[in-house]
Chains A and B, each alone.
Chain A
Amino acid sequence: MTKLSPPPQLMPKLRVEERGRYFKEVALGYTEEQARAEAVRCLHCKVPRCVEGCPVNIDIPAFIEFIREGKFDEAIKKIKEKNSLPAICGRVCPQETQCMGKCILGVKGTPINIGALERFAANWEQRKGINKPQIAPSTGKKVAVVGSGPAGLTTAAELAKLGHDVTIFEALHLPGGVLMYGIPEFRMPKDIVMDEVRYVESLGVKFKTDVIIGKTITLDDLFKMGFEAVFLGTGAGLPSFLGVPGENLCSIYSANEFLIRVNLMKAYMFPEYDTPIKIGNKAAVIGGGNVAMDAARSALRLGNEVTVIYRRTEEEMPARREEVENAKEEGINFLFLATPVRFLGDERGWVKKVECIRMKLGELDETGRRRPVPIEGSEFQVDADIVIVAIGQKPNPLAVRNKGEVKVTKHGTIVVNSETYETSLKGVFAAGDIVTGDATVISAMGAAKKAARSIHEFLMGNK
Chain B
Amino acid sequence: MPDGFKMLEKEHIAPGIKRVVISAPLIANKAKVGQFVILRIDEYGERFPLTLFRWDSEKGTITLIFQEVGVSTKKLGMLQVGDCIKDVLGPLGNPSEIKRYGNVAVIGGGVGTALMYPQVSALRKAGNRVISILGARTAELLLLEGELAELSDELYVSTDDGSKGYKGFTSDVLKNLLNKGERFDYVFAVGPILMMRTIAEVTHPYGIKTVVSLNPIMIDGTGMCGGCRVTVGGETKFACVDGPEFDAHKVDFRELMNRLRIYIEEEKDALCVLEENFQRFKRDD
Chain A residues with CB under 8 Å of B2's CB are 208
* Contact A251:B226 (CB < 8 A) given known A208-B1, A209-B1: no
Q: List 7 A-B contacts (CB under 8 A).
A: A212-B222, A216-B90, A247-B236, A250-B258, A276-B263, A350-B258, A396-B223
Interface string of A275-298 (1 = CB under 8 A from B): 110100000000000000000000
Q: Which of B75, B231, B269 contacts A248 (CB 8 A)?
A: B231
Contact call A349/B87, Cβ cutoff below 8 A: no
Chain A residues with CB under 8 Å of B116's CB are none
Which residues of B, 157-178, contact A by the 8 Å Cβ criterion?
Answer: none
Contact call A215/B223, Cβ cutoff below 8 A: no
Chain A residues with CB under 8 Å of B225's CB are 239, 254, 256-257, 260-261
Interface string of A212-256 (1 = CB under 8 A from B): 100111000000000000000000011101010001111101101
Q: Is A391 engaged at the interface, CB distance under 8 Å to the other chain?
A: no
Residue of chain A at shortest CB distance from B5: A210
Q: Which of B44, B71, B92, B263 has the most CB of A within 10 A?
A: B44
Q: Which of A211, A215, A238 contacts B92 (CB 8 A)?
A: A215
A364 to chain B, nearest CB (A): 32
Residue of chain A at shortest CB distance from B40: A173
Q: Is B241 engaged at the interface, CB distance under 8 Å to the other chain?
A: yes
Contact call B27/A216, Cβ cutoff below 8 A: yes
Interface string of A348-391 (1 = CB under 8 A from B): 11100000000000000000000000000000000000000000
Q: Which of A209, A271, A349 contacts B258 (CB 8 A)?
A: A349
Q: Is A171 engaged at the interface, CB distance under 8 Å to the other chain?
A: yes
Residue of chain B at shortest CB distance from A350: B258
B37 to chain A, nearest CB (A): 10
Chain A residues with CB under 8 Å of B86's CB are 173
Q: Is A53 engaged at the interface, CB distance under 8 Å to the other chain?
A: no
A314 to chain B, nearest CB (A): 28
Contact call A398/B47, Cβ cutoff below 8 A: no
Q: 3 shortest A-B CB distances, which residue pairs?
A: A349-B258, A276-B266, A257-B225
Contact call B26/A217, Cβ cutoff below 8 A: yes
Chain B residues with CB under 8 Å of A260's CB are 219-220, 224-225
Count contacts on B: residues with CB < 8 A to the other chain: 46
B70 to chain A, nearest CB (A): 9
A249 to B236, CA, bound (A): 12
Q: Which of B1, B46, B219, B223 contacts A397 (CB 8 A)?
A: B223
Chain A residues with CB under 8 Å of B75's CB are 274
Contact call B259/A250, Cβ cutoff below 8 A: yes
Contact call A348/B224, Cβ cutoff below 8 A: no
Which residues of B, 221-259, contact A by the 8 Å Cβ criterion?
Answer: 222-227, 229-231, 236, 241, 254-255, 258-259
Contact call A398/B223, Cβ cutoff below 8 A: yes
Q: Is B135 engaged at the interface, CB distance under 8 Å to the other chain?
A: no
A251 to B87, CA, bound (A): 27
Contact call B1/A265, Cβ cutoff below 8 A: no
Chain A residues with CB under 8 Å of B72's CB are 274
A145 to chain B, nearest CB (A): 15
Chain B residues with CB under 8 Å of A251's CB are 262
Contact call B224/A239, Cβ cutoff below 8 A: yes
Chain A residues with CB under 8 Å of B194's CB are none
Residue of chain A at shortest CB distance from B276: A271
Chain A residues with CB under 8 Å of B89's CB are 171, 173, 210-212, 216
Q: Is A132 engaged at the interface, CB distance under 8 Å to the other chain?
A: no
A437 to B27, CA, bound (A): 30
Q: Is A22 engaged at the interface, CB distance under 8 Å to the other chain?
A: no
A453 to B230, CA, bound (A): 43
B233 to chain A, nearest CB (A): 14
A260 to B221, CA, bound (A): 12
Contact call A272/B30, Cβ cutoff below 8 A: no
Which residues of B, 41-67, contact A by the 8 Å Cβ criterion?
Answer: 44-47
Q: Is B88 engaged at the interface, CB distance under 8 Å to the other chain?
A: yes
Residue of chain B at shortest CB distance from A269: B44
Q: Identify the B interface with A (CB < 8 A).
A: 1-2, 26-27, 30, 40, 44-47, 71-72, 75, 86-92, 219-220, 222-227, 229-231, 236, 241, 254-255, 258-259, 261-263, 266-267, 269-270, 272-273
Contact call B1/A275, Cβ cutoff below 8 A: no
Q: Is A172 engaged at the interface, CB distance under 8 Å to the other chain?
A: yes
* Contact A210:B44 (CB < 8 A) given known A257-B226, A398-B222: no
A232 to B230, CA, bound (A): 29
Contact call B46/A275, Cβ cutoff below 8 A: yes
Q: Which of A212, A239, A261, A274 contacts B270 (CB 8 A)?
A: A274
Q: Which of A212, A248, A349, A396 contacts B236 (CB 8 A)?
A: A248
Residue of chain B at shortest CB distance from A279: B266
A249 to B229, CA, bound (A): 10
Q: Which of A173, A217, A239 contacts B226 (CB 8 A)?
A: A239
Residue of chain A at shortest CB distance from B35: A215
A217 to chain B, nearest CB (A): 6
Chain A residues with CB under 8 Å of B220's CB are 171-172, 260
Chain B residues with CB under 8 Å of A211's CB are 1, 26, 89
B114 to chain A, nearest CB (A): 22
A212 to B27, CA, bound (A): 10
A238 to B224, CA, bound (A): 5
Residue of chain B at shortest CB distance from A348: B258
Q: Which of B40, B224, B261 contacts A250 (CB 8 A)?
A: B261
Contact call A173/B87, Cβ cutoff below 8 A: yes
Contact call A215/B30, Cβ cutoff below 8 A: yes
Residue of chain A at shortest CB distance from B87: A173
A260 to B267, CA, bound (A): 18
Residue of chain B at shortest CB distance from A273: B44
Q: Is A44 engaged at the interface, CB distance under 8 Å to the other chain?
A: no
A173 to B90, CA, bound (A): 12
Q: Is A13 engaged at the interface, CB distance under 8 Å to the other chain?
A: no
Known: A216-B90, A238-B223, A275-B47. 16 other contacts (CB 8 A): A171-B222, A210-B1, A210-B88, A210-B89, A212-B90, A217-B30, A238-B224, A239-B225, A250-B262, A261-B219, A274-B71, A348-B258, A348-B261, A349-B258, A396-B222, A398-B222
Chain B residues with CB under 8 Å of A276's CB are 46, 263, 266-267, 270
Contact call A271/B255, Cβ cutoff below 8 A: no
* Contact A215:B91 (CB < 8 A) given known A209-B1, A256-B224, A274-B45: yes
Chain B residues with CB under 8 Å of A349's CB are 254-255, 258-259
Residue of chain B at shortest CB distance from A389: B226
Chain B residues with CB under 8 Å of A278's CB are 262-263, 266
A456 to chain B, nearest CB (A): 27
Residue of chain B at shortest CB distance from A398: B222
B222 to chain A, nearest CB (A): 5
